[in-house]
């Protein structure tokens, strides 16, 4: 029990440090599909993923983007973990990629078949320390960190949910960061 609580405290401190840090975007040309594959690989061995099917609908013509691949892996790991926790009996996570209509950005859509999010919580999801998880099961920092990383990449993130059915996160990232963000 002491070891378990120590590990939980370590995760809370780590999340707080990640949230508090003003990290620079170390942009480089990268393949969004490679980033998604890294995120899937890093979490697929976890017990919660045994009952989860991941469907990948990747666009064949997706351009490379300028981004920090390590930060984006963290974004998708957080989203995939949240999706899995929303489906304790198992389910499906669908990841889709496509170019946006105006071709200057890419869109990544992550949809799970979990129980959905109540409408009154949708506006609070990206707030620091907001969580719907039981006490001791979450810090409420995961989605606020995701939001911060996407904003540092000059991107957008939105969420739609159907209670009892599914939740969809949509991320739009520019193909080229302006010179100020390439640090």
Number of alpha carbons in the 13 Å side-chain half-sphere of residue 93: 27
Instruction: Please write down the long-range contacts of 46-50, taking CB distance under 8 Å and 24 or more positions apart.
Output: 46/81, 46/84, 48/81, 48/84, 48/85, 48/88, 49/84, 50/90
Cβ atoms within 10 Å, residue 178? 9
> What pLDDT, on the 0 to 100 scale, is given for residue 181?
42
Nearest 5 degrees, angle CA 142-CA 52-CA 60?
85
> What pLDDT, on the 0 to 100 scale, is given for residue 113?
95
Coil, strand, or helix at residue 158?
Answer: strand
- Sheet with 52-57, strands from edge to edge, namely 52-57, 91-99, 105-112, 166-174, 156-162
Tell me the average confidence (pLDDT) per consecutive run of 10 residues in the chain, 183 residues long.
76 64 76 96 88 95 93 94 90 95 88 88 74 60 84 92 90 82 40
How far apart are the C-alpha atoms of 8 and 2, rounded to whole Å?
10
> What pLDDT, on the 0 to 100 scale, is given for residue 1?
78
How far apart are the C-alpha atoms of 32 and 22, rounded to whole Å?
23
Q: What single DSSP character describes residue 136?
A: T
How far apart are the C-alpha atoms of 136 and 8, rounded to whole Å?
8
> What pLDDT, on the 0 to 100 scale, is given for residue 179?
54
The torsion region of residue 156 among left (phi > 0), alpha (psi -120 to 50) and beta comes to beta
Q: Exposure string (b/e) for 147-158, b if CB count within 10 Å is 16 or more?
A: bbbbebbbbebe
**Domain ranges within the chain, ordered by starting residue:** 2-178
State the fold for domain 2-178: Heat Shock Protein 90 (3.30.565)
- Structure pTM? 0.82
How far apart are the C-alpha atoms of 129 and 138, rounded to whole Å?
9
79 in Cβ contact with 97 (< 8 Å): no
């Amino acid at each position: 029990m002491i070891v378990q609580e120590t590990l939980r405290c370590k995760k809370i401190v780590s999340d707080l440090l990640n949230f508090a840090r003003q990290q620079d975007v170390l942009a480089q040309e990268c393949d969004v599909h490679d980033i998604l594959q890294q995120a899937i690989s890093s979490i697929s061995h976890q017990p919660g993923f045994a009952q989860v099917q991941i469907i990948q609908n990747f666009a064949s013509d997706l351009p490379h983007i300028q981004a920090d691949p390590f930060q984006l892996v963290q974004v998708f790991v957080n989203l995939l973990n949240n999706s899995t926790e929303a489906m304790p009996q198992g389910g499906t996570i669908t990841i889709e990629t496509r170019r946006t209509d105006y071709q200057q950005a890419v869109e990544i859509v992550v949809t799970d078949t979990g129980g959905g999010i109540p409408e009154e919580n949708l506006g609070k999801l990206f707030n620091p320390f907001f969580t719907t998880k039981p006490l001791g099961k979450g810090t409420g920092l995961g989605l606020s960190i995701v939001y911060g990383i996407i904003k540092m990449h000059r991107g957008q993130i939105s969420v739609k949910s159907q209670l009892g059915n599914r939740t969809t996160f949509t991320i739009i990232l520019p193909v080229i960061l302006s010179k100020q963000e390439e640090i």
